[in-house]
Amino acid sequence: MGNEVALVTGGASGMGRATVARFLGRGFSVVIADLNREVAERTLAELDAGDRVRFVHTDVSDEARFEAAIGETVETYGRLDVLVNAAGVGGAFGPLTEIEADDWDYTFDVVLRSVFLGTKHAGRVMRAQGTGGAIVNFGSVGAFAAGAGVQAYSVAKAGVQHLTRIAALEYAPDRIRVNAVAPGIITTPLIGLTAEDLKPVLGTVQPLPYAGEPDYVAGVVSFLASDDARFITGEIVTVDGGMIAAGPQLGNLVNNNPALRGLVGVNRGSTGEKSSVHRTVDVAGGTR
Ligand SMILES: NC(=O)c1ccc[n+]([C@@H]2O[C@H](COP(=O)([O-])OP(=O)(O)OC[C@H]3O[C@@H](n4cnc5c(N)ncnc54)[C@H](O)[C@@H]3O)[C@@H](O)[C@H]2O)c1
């Protein structure tokens, strides 16, 4: 531990950048592979980690360029232990009846094809090294339910999450672990919302009452890339403040029914046994 080498796609901004900072804190050498040169150069200056971090200008949907970025990583730092596929865009917006097929394809190229390309070429390098490795992909809560993200993006993220399991199976004999995080709403430039903007969903749609910050997800990525996660592969870790756990929140609907508010006890249905539901709790939760 300490002299490992990671390549982080989308490492110039948001959760990718927070992941780079985590890895640098653990003594890694890191390559940021990103399309946005200006933001990447600013990030490099702010991280101030000398020659332990460098930027390679890359479009991760382009196979030759992604393969070249992996090659440059090995040339510069001598090996590759960790690949984090964090690059992403919102992609095509609008009703399915209006989405241009080219915009749909662009979304899939950046969100899903890129993860396949990285998995393919990093897998080759890690396998040849013979010392195992870790790949961590970025899925999304949008992959789990239709109401959690825009269409093309959500379908592509579902692909990323399934590719994670497929790759975990294929790479297990080489001790290369492949996992994913599925973030909820995180305050990054991609969604452009602040903690203040998110107030209406905090403690409601998202049960935890504080906004998701990039470092909360980066901490999980860092764990999945570490030896502490040595027995975890093919796993999708949801990091969403409880949104998916809350699900459709039908409980809210029931609690909104005044007839059911404040009832406690047990309903034994049609068993013939006595139920004991009675009214002892007021709406605020105090006993009467
Ligand atoms: N922010 C959220 O709420 C949220 C939720 C779920 C999943 N995600 C996913 O998390 C990941 C990180 O997103 P973020 O919110 O930190 O976004 P961000 O916009 O802050 O960072 C994404 C980075 O990816 C880079 N990038 C985009 N297309 C690229 C390409 N073709 N080649 C190379 N680099 C490219 C961008 O230049 C940018 O630096 C993405 O995969 C995103 O889809 C985000």
Rg of the chain over Cα atoms, rounded to whole angstroms, equals 22
User: Quick one: pLDDT at residue 79?
Assistant: 98
CA 76 from centre of chain: 28
Exposed (0-12), middle (13-18) or buried (19+): which is 105, by Cβ within 10 Å?
middle
User: Quick one: pLDDT at residue 286?
Assistant: 47
Locate the domains of the chain by residue range. 5-246, 249-288
Report the C-alpha gap between 181 and 178 in whole angstroms.
11
Ligand 1 pocket test, pick from 34, 57, 154, 236 with the greatest ligand atom count within 8 Å of Cβ, gives 34
Residue 104 has pLDDT above 90, yes or no: yes
Q: What is the DSSP letter of 226?
A: S
CA 262 from centre of chain: 38
Ligand 1 pocket test, pick from 112, 188, 206 with the greatest ligand atom count within 8 Å of Cβ, gives 188
CA atoms within 13 A on the CB side of 83: 33
Position 258 confidence tier, pLDDT thresholds 50, 70, 90: low
Position 2 confidence tier, pLDDT thresholds 50, 70, 90: low
Ligand 1 atom closest to 185 (CA): 3
User: Quick one: pLDDT at residue 277?
Assistant: 87
Listed as own residue / partner, the contacts of 262-265 with beta carbons closer than 8 Å and 24 or more positions apart are: 262/288
Cα(223) to centroid(ligand 1), Å: 20
Report the 10 Å Cβ neighbour count for 33.
Answer: 32
170-214 per-position pLDDT tens digit: 999 999 999 999 999 999 999 999 999 999 999 999 999 999 999
Instruction: Give the residue, by CA position, lying nearest to ligand 1 atom 14.
Output: 14
- pLDDT, averaged across the chain: 94
The pLDDT of 242-253, averaged and rounded, is 85
User: Quick one: pLDDT at residue 281?
Assistant: 57
136-153 per-position pLDDT tens digit: 999 999 999 998 889 999
Percent of the chain with pLDDT over 90: 87
Report the C-alpha gap between 73 and 36 in whole angstroms.
18
Ligand 1 atom closest to 60 (CA): 32
Residue 25 has pLDDT above 60, yes or no: yes
User: Quick one: pLDDT at residue 254?
Assistant: 73
Position 288 confidence tier, pLDDT thresholds 50, 70, 90: very low
Indicate the range of 60-64, 160-164, 234-238, 268-272 predicted with least confidence.
268-272
Nearest to 109 by CA among 62, 164, 70, 151: 62
The pLDDT of 23-50, averaged and rounded, is 98
User: Quick one: pLDDT at residue 149?
Assistant: 87
3-12 per-position pLDDT tens digit: 899 999 999 9
The pLDDT of 34-60, averaged and rounded, is 98
User: Can you name the CATH fold of 5-246?
Assistant: Rossmann fold (3.40.50)
